[in-house]
């Protein structure tokens, strides 16, 4: 056993459990790949101000949870706590918005970091798949992303999730609501930190999960009552498009999300089987973020879905993904000559696209066959000196136990035929 352990609040992904994470990532990415989204990958750390400006200094993410540090050269950096700001920064730096038709559609997958109080479903290191559509203000784009996320979850077999939907207004109507909300909140019995938040970004108070705060928010003014005509029309179009696609959602007038950059459409995917950590993903429109980080006006929308929590949602519904075995064929050599010949056979099978493994190390037939059983392979290729002298190997069906001699020079085709 190692002297060292994974840092508190983190985890290692190891086989066979890691295969489930890969399957979830692939399922979420699949509808994006067929909808015009290209893959982007950004560094695991960025200039700390990218998140302070974009995500918002009043958010818990920036003020309490971000891993910030100074390099030996004096640069102030932060481990990325979310993906949108990084992806937008990368798109701006590469001038993607100048190279073709808008929107620029990107998807990404990676690890993110927040200094959380560790608990099941809430880690300091977590995995997300995200999508961003940059440079277009269109209700159909908001609807597309919500529909694609719904499609991804349903392709995994998930059914017991809900989509919450709201509009946060824009720079025209939100200031009026902000003033009304501040007036209401100032009359409540709140701690000093929360009172400071009222002055910086009062919508953050609505996102406070503490029961003592939520009880006092009964009767708070709702943003939907302050939306301007343009925001109302935009939101109704998003709702109509989602409905026409057969996607069921719930209107949630108090849905804010934990980031400052959202405008207009905001949404969240929640799963009631996960307890307090019920949000499995979410996103929204962020029309002013590009300007916040020094870019041109680029209205945009996106989401991020948590791989960790999606896996927990699958467990909550008792769903077992159909994950192919990592190995289809396992080679068992009996003797030095068989070892040389079968190693070459393994190489040929792999070239032919067959997932094949080899029994390494000097051990007897019993030890080799234990390795074959543990591999989960569908077939085992067994060969000794007598088999090779006759120009054959033994092809064993690991499910039925049946064994058949197969000519060595026709083995690759025989295996491919059986697996097909």
- Residue 234, annotated ligand binder? no
* 310 marked as binding residue: no
Q: How far apart are CA 46 and CA 193, in angstroms?
A: 27
User: Has residue 412 been placed in a domain?
Assistant: yes
Asked whether residue 302 is domain-assigned, the answer is yes
Total domains, the chain: 2
The pLDDT tens digits along the chain (420 residues) read 778 999 999 999 998 889 999 999 999 999 999 999 999 999 999 999 998 887 776 666 777 888 999 999 999 999 999 999 999 999 999 999 999 889 999 999 999 999 988 877 788 999 999 999 999 999 999 999 999 999 999 999 999 999 999 999 998 888 898 899 999 999 898 888 888 888 888 887 887 878 889 899 888 898 889 999 999 999 999 999 999 999 999 999 888 876 667 889 999 999 988 877 789 999 999 998 999 999 999 999 999 999 999 999 999 999 999 888 889 999 999 999 999 999 999 999 999 999 999 999 867 888 888 888 888 899 999 999 999 999 999 999 999 999 999 999 999 999 999 998
Closest CA to 60 of 124, 137, 119, 115: 115
268 among the known binding-site residues? Answer: no
Strand partners, 132: 106, 302
Residue 203 in domain: no
Q: Indicate the pTM of the whole model.
A: 0.89
404 in a known ligand binding site: no
Q: Are residues 120 and 38 in the same domain?
A: yes
265 is annotated as contributing to ligand binding: no
Answer yes or no: do 259 and 339 share one domain.
Answer: no
Residue 198 lies in a domain: no
CATH number where 350 lies: 3.40.50.800
The answer to whether 132 is a known ligand-binding residue is yes
CA distance 192 to 306: 32
Query: In this structure, are 277 and 145 located in the same domain?
Result: yes
Indicate whether 143 and 87 sit together in one domain.
yes
Alpha helices in 323-392 (DSSP H): 336-351, 365-375, 385-389
226 annotated ligand-binding residue: no
Is 262 assigned a ligand-binding role in the annotation? Answer: yes
Give the structural domain span for 400: 329-419
């Amino acid at each position: 056993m190692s002297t060292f352990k994974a840092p508190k609040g983190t985890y290692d992904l190891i086989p066979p459990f890691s295969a489930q994470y890969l399957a979830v990532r692939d399922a979420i990415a699949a509808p994006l790949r067929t909808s015009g989204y290209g893959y982007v990958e950004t560094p695991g750390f960025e200039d700390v101000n990218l998140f302070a400006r974009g995500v918002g200094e009043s958010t818990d993410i920036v003020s309490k949870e971000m891993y910030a540090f100074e390099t030996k050269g004096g640069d102030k950096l932060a481990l990325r706590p979310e993906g949108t700001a990084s992806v937008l920064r990368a798109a701006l730096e590469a001038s993607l918005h100048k190279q073709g038709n808008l929107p620029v559609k990107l998807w990404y997958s990676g690890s993110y970091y927040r200094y959380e109080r560790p608990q099941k479903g809430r880690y300091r290191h977590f995995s997300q798949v995200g999508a961003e559509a940059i440079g277009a203000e269109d209700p159909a784009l908001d609807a597309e992303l919500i529909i694609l996320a719904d499609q991804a979850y349903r392709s995994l077999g998930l059914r017991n999730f809900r989509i919450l939907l709201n509009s946060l207004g824009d720079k025209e109507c939100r200031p009026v609501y902000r003033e009304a909300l501040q007036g209401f909140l100032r009359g409540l019995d709140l701690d000093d930190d929360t009172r400071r938040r009222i002055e910086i970004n009062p919508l953050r108070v609505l996102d406070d999960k503490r029961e003592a705060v939520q009880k006092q928010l009964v009767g708070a003014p709702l943003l939907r009552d302050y939306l301007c005509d343009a925001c109302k029309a935009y939101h109704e179009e998003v709702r109509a498009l989602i409905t026409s696609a057969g996607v069921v959602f719930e209107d949630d007038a108090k849905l804010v999300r934990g980031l400052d950059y959202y405008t207009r459409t905001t949404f969240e995917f929640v799963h009631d089987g996960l307890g307090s950590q019920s949000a499995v993903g979410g996103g929204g429109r962020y029309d002013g973020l590009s300007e916040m980080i020094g870019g041109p006006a680029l209205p945009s929308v996106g989401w991020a879905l948590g791989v960790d929590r999606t896996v927990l949602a699958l467990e909550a519904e008792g769903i077992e993904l159909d994950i192919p075995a990592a190995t289809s064929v396992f080679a068992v050599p009996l003797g030095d000559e068989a070892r040389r010949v079968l190693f070459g056979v393994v190489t040929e099978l792999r070239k032919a696209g067959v997932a094949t493994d080899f029994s390494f190390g000097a051990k007897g037939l019993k030890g080799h066959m234990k390795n074959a059983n543990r591999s989960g392979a569908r077939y085992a290729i067994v060969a000794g000196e007598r088999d090779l002298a006759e120009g054959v190997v033994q092809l064993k069906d690991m499910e039925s136990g049946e064994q058949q001699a197969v000519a060595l020079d026709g083995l690759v085709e025989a295996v491919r035929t059986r697996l097909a």
